[in-house]
Amino acid sequence: MRPLFGTLLMVLTGVAAALVIGFYPAFLTSTVAEDDEQLGFHDKIVIQFSHVVAENTPKGLAAQDFARRVKEKAGGRIKVEVFPNGVLYNETNEVEALMNGEIQMIAPALSNISERVPAWQLFDLPYAFLSEKAVDEAFHGEIGRLLNAKLEDEHMVGLTFWSNGFKHMTSNRGPIVHPGDLSGQRFRVLPSRVIEAQFSLLGASVIPIPFNNTYQAMETGMVDGGENTVSNIHSKKFYEVQKHMTLTAHAYLGYAVLVNEAFWKGIPSHEQSLIREALEETSAWANRNAQEMNASQLRELERYKGIRIHRQTAEERLEWIKAMEPLYRDFEGVIGTELMNQVRALQTKYGGG
C-alpha cells in the first residue's frame, strides 16, 4: 500500500503544481483593489487648502468645487483637503502661514495680500473698477500679470482669481447716502491701508476685525457698520445686526488663489497641469456663480423687514467718486505708476473718466 500511496501523492502534487504554473499569468494580471487610505505619504500629493469664510459662500463653494475636480482628474493621486471658516488660519495669519509652508494653499481677500505686497492695494481703491467686465479684464490682463510677478519675492505663486462681487456699506447709525454720513461712525474694515485711509478720509473711525468676529462686533456695538458683499452679509447674517444698507458698489472683493512656492515647485509638471486645469474650470464656474448668488441673495435681503436698503443714484455715485480722488494721489507711490495707469485706462474704458 505504501508504494501505491506514495505514487498517488506524487501524481496529485504534480497536478497541483501544473495548475499553479498554468494560471500564473492570470495571477499577475488580476486587478488588485487599492485602498486610498493605505497609500503611502509619498504616493499621493496632499494640498491643505485653508480659507476663512463659510462653505455656502462663493469662495467656500469654489474651494469645494476645485477639490472635486482635482479628485476626478487625478484619480486620487492628488487630494485637496479644504478647511473653511478660519479653522486653521484667519485673515491676520494665513498669508504668513503660506509663506512659511505651514499650509499649501489659501485664497485670501486681495486686501490681505496687500499687507505683504503693497502693490496689491490697488484693488482696495474705491471705484477703481466700475463693472464686472473691468474686473475681469484686470484679473486676466496686464494688471494680473504684474501683480502675480510681485508675489514671487514673497515665496508665493498666484494661480488664479475668484470673485465675490462688489462691496456695499451697512450701518446701525442711519442710512449712508452721502460721504459725510460716515463722519463719527465706527467702521469694521479689513486690514488694509487703503481701506483705512478711505474711511478715515470721510471722518469714520476704522477698526480692523477678523471676518468671523464681525457679527459679534456689530451685535455688541463695538462697531456701527462695515463694508461687505451681499453674499457675505447674507451668509453671516449681518442683516440681523445692521439696520441700514446702501448699495454703493464702491470697491471689489476678490480672492487670489495662492500656493506656497517651494511646495508648488516640488509637484511634477503633469500634476501641476492637472491642478491648473481644475482651477481654470472652477474659476469660470465660480465667478458666474458669485454674480448669481449676489443677485439672488440681494432679492432675499430686500424682502427682509429688518434692514432698509438704499440704492445709490448716479449723482450720488459721482459725489462719492469725487470725495475719494485724494486717495489716488496718496497711494500712487506705493502701488506704482505703471499699475495706476492701467487702472485709469480701465476707468476711462468703462465710464469713470
Q: 204-217: per-residue pLDDT in tens?
A: 999 999 888 999 99
List pLDDT tens digits, range 295-315.
999 999 999 999 999 999 999
Q: Is pLDDT of 9 > 80?
A: no
Residue partners of 272: CB distance under 8 A and separation at least 6:
264
Residue 102 to residues 14, 67, 240: CA-CA distances in angstroms? 61, 19, 36
DSSP state of 172: S
E strand segments, the chain: 45-50, 78-83, 105-106, 156-171, 186-189, 205-208, 225-228, 244-260, 308-311
User: Are 53 and 84 spatial neighbours (Cβ–Cβ below 8 Å)?
Assistant: yes
pLDDT interval class at 42 (50, 70, 90): low
Q: How far apart are CA 112 and CA 51, in angstroms?
A: 12
> What is the residue-wise DSSP string for 46-66?
EEEEE-SS-TTSHHHHHHHHH
Place of cell 469713470: 352
List pLDDT tens digits, range 129-181.
999 999 999 999 999 999 999 998 899 999 999 989 999 999 999 999 999 99
User: Are 335 and 121 spatial neighbours (Cβ–Cβ below 8 Å)?
Assistant: yes
- Helix 142-151 vs helix 132-140: angle between axes, to the nearest 10 degrees? 50
pLDDT interval class at 25 (50, 70, 90): very low
Provide the 10 A C-beta neighbour count for residue 96. Answer: 14
E strand segments, 183-301: 186-189, 205-208, 225-228, 244-260
Residue 169 to residues 22, 224, 243: CA-CA distances in angstroms? 78, 11, 11
Cell of residue 315, nine digits = 449723482
Q: What is the pTM of this model?
A: 0.80
Strand partners, 158: 258
Domains of the chain in sequence order: 45-351 (3.40.190.170)
